[in-house]
Structure 1
């Protein structure tokens, strides 16, 4: 086994312990590069590159940026994607220091990624999945909790981290509910090492999201987020206004739709409105999206809030000890 990156050391080298989540059809080279240049970890699903040649170009550009002092970039491997082997090979040929795995056990990719110098974070949504990923040798876990955008978790983030900490001392990252620097500090107090930021970064100038999608986020609130199985066959947080704009009554969705039927109704080859393309998702943090902004500006805002909250907490502790 070769030397591979120390996840906690990578997080300590950031301006704040934050990862901008890999988002399907949203996270591309431009957004990832802007986040990394601003001092946070930028992540992207490798399938967003569409072709192996384009993925190779993205990885080369991010290698260069990283070598110039930017924060690490983080490819996301979807384990059940048919492109897994090809994308894994490309990552191993480049200079990524950390990789996120999702939709399946990380076990098949951990050894080659470690040999290539990559630490491995695994997405998990249940205690059973967390145990299995930990036993497989994952260096960190992303705990997908209630309120995350897209295919979401269902567990309370405080209860989830407490239960996982009973058997796992590796890096834990919370996904769901991260919107500001104070959220990030609260997560650390609860037992997490870092936070996953997603929804707010959809509404950035560099994201791949359609302008109409970005604009909708700025006028939506968490009351517009609907948890439904109708579009993917799995519990997914979608935006009610986008559902309504597609001609579908969000109050009459069939919650028993199977993944196969959902794919035929709303997938890429469907005749009707397509999930992710016309029917858009968001997490509960959509209430914090008030404008479309440059990614670097958003990272800087979160970093400043985090530093201010940490300083205020330190002052409060000093005051209590002096009494």
Structure 2
């Protein structure tokens, strides 16, 4: 197992609350870190770099106050940066991260060695999300500290690989921190990820339905009301295959199974609104399309909308129960002879 020292000192649970577009904000991040897991958010959830920096200041101020009041260390927080050339804010946002020494940078859409070097220069960590073994190998060559294996069933732009296969192949060439993403909703899921060979769990969908999430109430409730059968995997929305809630597709006039428009008017509106563009804030008049909501297949394990601290306490109880149970089960087989006498 490979966890950064800064994580070992502060985590109450090996979990990262993943950065979710238009969902993760300062309140969720602060409460996650106070409760002992890594809270993260996308830089692009703020319309401007100035707004992004204001969020960083808000988070750092709140966590510093928490540490002074309680005498306890908060868990690290992180920022997701889109490092693809199509992101015009990358340079400015990276400079802001360097100025505030953001503990963890999560990079997406390309592992860039120069970005890794700049983050390492101030003592930060870089985790990179990957959906294929080839991309994992390229990220490892870029000297990232951790890989986030985005497996089949994950919310948003998910991969198609089974987690058993993906983790096993990555571990053949990467000894850094390995984070597993995809359908992780309970403390038992977190424990299972570690038994499989991952160091941490990456949980997104479960944190959408929390009080501190920036998701609208209808989005949160739709997750509570849904099961794995209500998730559609389609490239029709953003041009990249991703998982979405079927009821939200239907409400937008799209085929719930494919995401394709059902009539010509919807086709025209989709083109005009540039549906799925994640590098800019939604355009004016695009409110209907903001109701196309992403989620992973783990929705079937979500039955409530608690505050973040309550959720993490529940996850911790489930995690401990699962690890104790596994220890008891494995002990039954530990000393039994194997093979022929």
* Unaligned stretches of 5+ residues in structure 1: 1-5
Q: How does 1:271-286 map to 2 (within 5 A)?
A: 275=289, 277-286=290-299
Larger Rg: 2
RMSD: 2.3
- Are 1:11 and 2:7 an aligned pair? yes
Q: Closer, same or farther in 2 for the Cα pair 1:7/1:64, shift >3 Å?
A: farther
Q: Is the 8 A contact 2:252 2:288 kept in 1?
A: no
2:80 to 76, 81, 89: 76
Matches within 5 A, 1:123-134: 123-134=129-140
Distance 1:51 1:253, change over 3 A: closer
Q: Aligned partners of 1:33 and 1:253: how far apart in 2? A: 35
Is contact 1:66-1:72 (8 Å) kept? no
d(CA) in 2 for partners of 1:266, 1:148: 17
Q: Against the structure 1 CA distance between its residues 264 and 50, is the aligned structure 2 distance closer, same or farther, given a 3 Å change threshold?
A: closer
Match of 1:264 in 2: 274
Match of 2:245 among 239, 264, 270: 239
SS of the equivalent of 2:129 reads strand
- For residues 146-180 of structure 1, what are the alpha-carbon distances to aligned partners after superposition, in whole Å with 9 as ceiling and x for unaligned? 01001111111110011111111111101101111
Give the conservation status (yes or no) of the 8 Å contact 2:3–2:199.
Answer: no
Bigger drift between 236-245 and 246-255 goes to 246-255
Residues 250-309 of structure 1: CA distance to partner in whole angstroms, max 9, x if unpaired? Answer: 246449x9xx9697356534977754x111111001111212110111111111111121
Partner of 1:296: 309
Distance 1:198 1:252 in 2: 23
Q: 1:322 offset after TM fit, Å?
A: 7.0
Q: From the superposition, tell whether residues 168 and 321 of structure 1 become closer, same or farther in structure 2 (CA, over 3 Å).
A: closer
Partner of 1:3: none
Closer, same or farther in 2 for the Cα pair 1:179/1:261, shift >3 Å? same
- Report Cα offsets for 1:43-65 as digits up to 9, x if no partner: 10011122223222221232234
Pairing partner for 1:305 from 313, 318, 326: 318
- Unpaired stretches in structure 2, ≥5 consecutive residues: 68-72, 262-266, 337-341
Distance 1:309 1:156 in 2: 22
What's the TM-score once normalised by structure 2's chain length? 0.86
